[in-house]
Structure 1
Amino acid sequence: CWSFVPGSYFCYDNPAALQTQVIQDMKLNTATFMQLYAWYSWPNVVLYHWFTVILLGTIIFSLFVCVGQVIFASGALLNRFWLMEVGRFVFGIGGESLAVAQNTYAVSWFKGKELNLVFGLQLSMARLGSTVNMNIMGWVYGKVEDLVGSPGHTTLGASLMIAAVTCLFSLSCALVLAFLDKRAERILQKEQGNTGEVIKLTDVKDFPFPLWLIFIICVCYYVAVFPFIGLGQVFFIEKFNFSPAEARAVNSIVYIISAPASPVLGFIVDKTGRNVIWVIIAVVATLCAHMMLAFTFWNPWIAMSLLGVSYSLLACALWPMVAFVVPEHQLGTAYGFMQSIQNLGLAVIAIAAGALLDTRGYLVLEVFFCACICLALMAVVMLYFVDYLRGGDLNRSASARAKLQKEATSASRYFSCRIRRQPSMMTHGELARLTPMSAFGLRNRYLSRLGTQLPDHYSTHLSSLSHRSVLK
């Protein structure tokens, strides 16, 4: 499951890794450049509810990723920016849907297990692709430039076509996964090609209020991370006078840190619980990182390292909370809808960030990102209090969750055994306790617990005629 996603993440940030080259070779401004990210996000605003069968979906969407990257590279080769946008649109159809497949697979395969650690591991594998992209695509462009003889759209297109090889690797992994999953279905006699979750748009109206707060946190947080990384290379060159190689390195530190840190942080969240508290810590740390980048000239490695740790921590603590607030049959819809509104936010903010940078500069852009993080902080604080008033399920400790799960399992087994027993094998007292209590009986039990002295003939098993006469 973790192997078929790195290829899509490698190619997702190709524009960020080659920001300077794309803008120069295709003769773009920043706002037009950020359209490459917007076109990736637009299809995923509405496509999440198409995703119903995981086994088949991983193969189909891996094909979309491959075809989209080839079209994107062809647009650069032919010096047709509109074709590059079409390629990113096709690429986006497959890219985010693969992420939905990955999340739903994880919850399906690791129910009641180390879910936070699993989310950390899958984030680690995904960001491994992003890290390699950030640090190698500039080198690939340079090697192709040496062969071609000069920079230009041909060099850019050839470099992007080489990157498409990683998408073929992801497709191969999806095919292997489909074979293994089909084999497991046959051995375990599972339902063919289905995870148990059915995507239904009508489920959205039943989402609880804490889930909507989780959606707000997700959108407001990620729009301050991914668009910033997409524009970060030139930012570090202009503000801190870094060389292009140094700028690519510091811009990729978020992904470099998240690769090894995500499993470790996921393990810590698993062992401690308190997901909401960890999300608060992650959001506050991210706000501090953006403020350092905006208002100081401190070494940006400090702020970006802090951003990398907080980004990993938020992913490990936030995404598993969806499984705590919705029933299992709505998980596919919930994760799909979460991806959908996240992509809507990313598409809109990508366009806005490019326009702000062209007209106002990096300082105003950083203030804008800080404002987005502040909205996420307000949402997570509200989530803390709402969850507290509802019993604190999201912020329970790991030991409390384990105890509740053990009690629920024991109760489920107990009632299953009682139901399987034949009525003839039950005593008269057991049958009486299993018989639903009438309204009259409930009223008398309530009065007796309050200390009210009831007549002897007010027993809980009077006839229906007596019930009606007394209640009048």
Structure 2
Amino acid sequence: MQRQLKWIVLALAAFTIMGSYYTYDSIAPIAELLRNQRGFSQQQIGSLNAVFSLPNIPLAIVGGILIDRIGAARAALAATMLCTVGAVLTAIGDPYGLMVIGRLFFGLGNETLYIALLVGISQWFHAGGTALAIAIFFSLARVGSYAADTSTRWAAPAYAMGWQPPLWLAAAFTASGLVTALAYYLIDARNAHLRGAGPPSEHFEVRSLVGFGRSFWFILWLNVLFASVFFPFRSTFSIQYFQDAKGITLGQAGVANSWVFFAAIFATPVVGLVADRFGRRATLLTVGAGLMPLTFLVLVATDWPLWVSTAMMGVSFSVIPAVIWPATAMLVEKRRIGTAFGLVNMLQSLGLAASNYAAGWLNDKFKAGPRNVDGYDGMLSLFAMLSCVAFISTVLLRIRERRREGGGIEAVVVTSAASPHQRH
């Protein structure tokens, strides 16, 4: 019974987050429309995704603690409701302040939803296969991002009507997640005895935020670096950059950008399967991190088709869900998984907000646009620098893991293989 239900839970979780992924990525396809039809600056456009992350700097950890207290399924349902409210306010979107508030609400709900579903999957797959399950979760969820990018073609009539109809379409996708979140909650409530979850914490202690091993902090740092490059470029500025720098249409830019998640849809489960079966997590991280700076080198220094660089970025980012999140779940106690994920997302949100804002500021400072393509050099240099720091960090992590006899991200593979019911 547990075997069948855990796959149903995985499917419901993936469909729930899929709508939110679509909505998060709905800003990049309309960036040019916002610039031309509403006169938004690059910094204002960047702020729409920066404000998504800002509230989660202090509140992501609160969401993680709350999940540990009230349960992942209940928290996911409440968060989906908040996401829907935020998506609707963003779609109304006039004046600009209302759009910002909508993205703020959406960000508040989305990060808690994200953490809750990851915790829920970790609990239902506690007996084995965590890396593959989380990889499949992200692979299916990123269909939402792929759909958002390609919507410039399959929903072209909506874009022809202006900036607002595409945002209403995004709100509808987010609202559909309420149905699957409710179904997940009902299944989880009736079968709580089948999932693996430690007893809830009776009270919160500040020391619980720092009582993690050194490998956990390495993993957290890498997550922040990866996310600070990947999401601000791909989900905020890439489509606009492709149009201006490569001279292509909105539809062509959306399709080119979609290759990031099209590649990840297939690469992520493969990486997850390898991580579950063979381990080598630090090695996988090093390979993934090495691809990221190469992505920007190919993008800027060659005339290769855009899909080459975007597919490379998709493969690179596949290691995050397939390696980092499962490793995080394995390195902490079950009753503290929500808190650990919340701490990761808190610092990740800080990186996302700072990177989005900085990239928009650099584009405005150097007057980036179709008439000044070189103005994007500042933004691209920022992302390339962060990519190189991430690569160097993964190399150092791999050296450290090879010198250790146990206890790191490689050791959890050995532990889980020997005793699949003891993942702490």
TM-score relative to the length of structure 1: 0.78
**1:407 and 1:359, CA in 2 relative to 1: closer, same or farther beyond 3 A?**
closer
**Residue number in structure 2 paired with 1:243:** 249
**1:288 Cα deviation after fit:** 0.9
Aligned residues: 394
Query: Partners of 1:16 and 1:169 in 2: how far apart?
Result: 22
Partner of 1:292: 298
1:206 aligns with 2:211: yes
Q: Is the 8 A contact 1:214 1:318 kept in 2?
A: yes
Structure whose CA Rg is larger = 1
Identity of aligned residues (%): 25
| Structure 2 residue matching 1:14: 3-state secondary structure | coil
Work out the CA distance in 1 between the residues paired with 2:194 and 2:403.
Answer: 42
Q: Structure 1 residue 63 and structure 2 residue 81: aligned?
A: yes
Of the candidates 353, 358, 361, which is equivalent to residue 364 of structure 2?
Answer: 358
1:124-139 → structure 2 map (5 Å cutoff): 124-137=139-152, 139=154
CA contact (8 A) 2:152 2:159 kept: no
Judge conservation of contact 1:270–1:398 (CA < 8 Å) in 2: no
Following the alignment from structure 2 to structure 1, what is the Cα–Cα distance between the partners of residues 104 and 283? 37
State the shift of 1:111 in Å: 1.5
Query: Partners of 1:379 and 1:310 in 2: how far apart?
Result: 15
The one of 233, 240, 247 aligned to 1:234: 240
Change (3 A) 1:400 1:3: same
**Aligned-residue offset at 1:6:** 0.5
SS of alignment partner, residue 105 of structure 1? helix
**Separation of aligned partners in 2, 1:144 and 1:326:** 46
Q: CA deviation at 1:120?
A: 0.8
SS at match of 1:256: helix
Residues 48 and 103 in structure 2, CA contact (< 8 A), matched pair in contact too: yes
CA distance in 2, matches of 1:226, 1:407: 35
Whether contact under 8 Å (1:18, 1:138) holds in the other structure is no
User: Mind listing any 5+ residue stretches in structure 1 that lack a counterpart?
Assistant: 410-472
Distance 1:139 1:190 in 2: 40
Pick from 329, 332, 341: which aligns with 1:326? Answer: 332
Residue by residue over 1:440-460, the C-alpha shift from the partner in whole angstroms, topping out at 9 and shown as x without a partner, is xxxxxxxxxxxxxxxxxxxxx
| Equivalent position to 1:88, from 94, 103, 123 | 103
Residue among 179, 182, 203 paired with 2:186: 179
Distance verdict in 2 for CA 1:177–1:364, change over 3 Å: same
Tell me which residue corresponds to 1:12: 24
Q: Give the residue type in structure 1 aligned to 2:74.
A: L
1:340–1:408 CA distance, 2 compared to 1 (3 A): closer
Residue 261 of structure 1: how far off its partner (Å): 2.3
Q: 2:390 aligns with which of 335, 355, 376?
A: 376
CA distance in 2, matches of 1:368, 1:170: 35
- Between the aligned partners of 1:236 and 1:47, the Cα distance in structure 2 is 34
- Deviation, structure 1 residue 387: 3.0
- C-alpha distance in 1 between matches for 2:90 and 2:137: 26
RMSD across aligned C-alpha pairs, in angstroms? 2.4
> Relative to 1, partners in 2 of residues 1:197 and 1:246: Cα closer, same or farther, differing over 3 Å?
farther
Q: Structure 2 counterpart of 1:323, which letter? A: A
1 CA distance for matches of 2:422 and 2:177? 40
Flag the 1:170–1:109 CA change in 2: closer, same or farther, 3 A.
Answer: same
TM-aligned CA distance change 1:263 to 1:326, over 3 Å: same
Contact 2:159 2:165 in 1 (8 A): no
Q: 1:277–1:395: 8 Å Cα contact kept in structure 2?
A: no
1:367 to 381, 384, 391: 381
Would the aligned equivalents of 2:26 and 2:166 in 1 still touch at CA under 8 Å? Answer: no
CA contact (8 A) 1:40 1:88 kept: yes
Aligned to 1:97: 112
What SS class does the counterpart of residue 225 from structure 1 fall into?
helix
Q: Single out whichever of 59-68 and 392-401 deviates more from structure 2.
A: 392-401
Aligned residue in 2 for 1:468: none
**Which ranges of structure 2 fall in alignment gaps of 5 or more residues?**
1-12, 367-374
Q: CA separation of 1:261/1:355 partners in 2, compared to 1, >3 Å: closer, same or farther?
A: same
Using the TM superposition, give the Cα deviation of residue 405 of structure 1 relative to its aligned residue in structure 2, in angstroms: 2.6
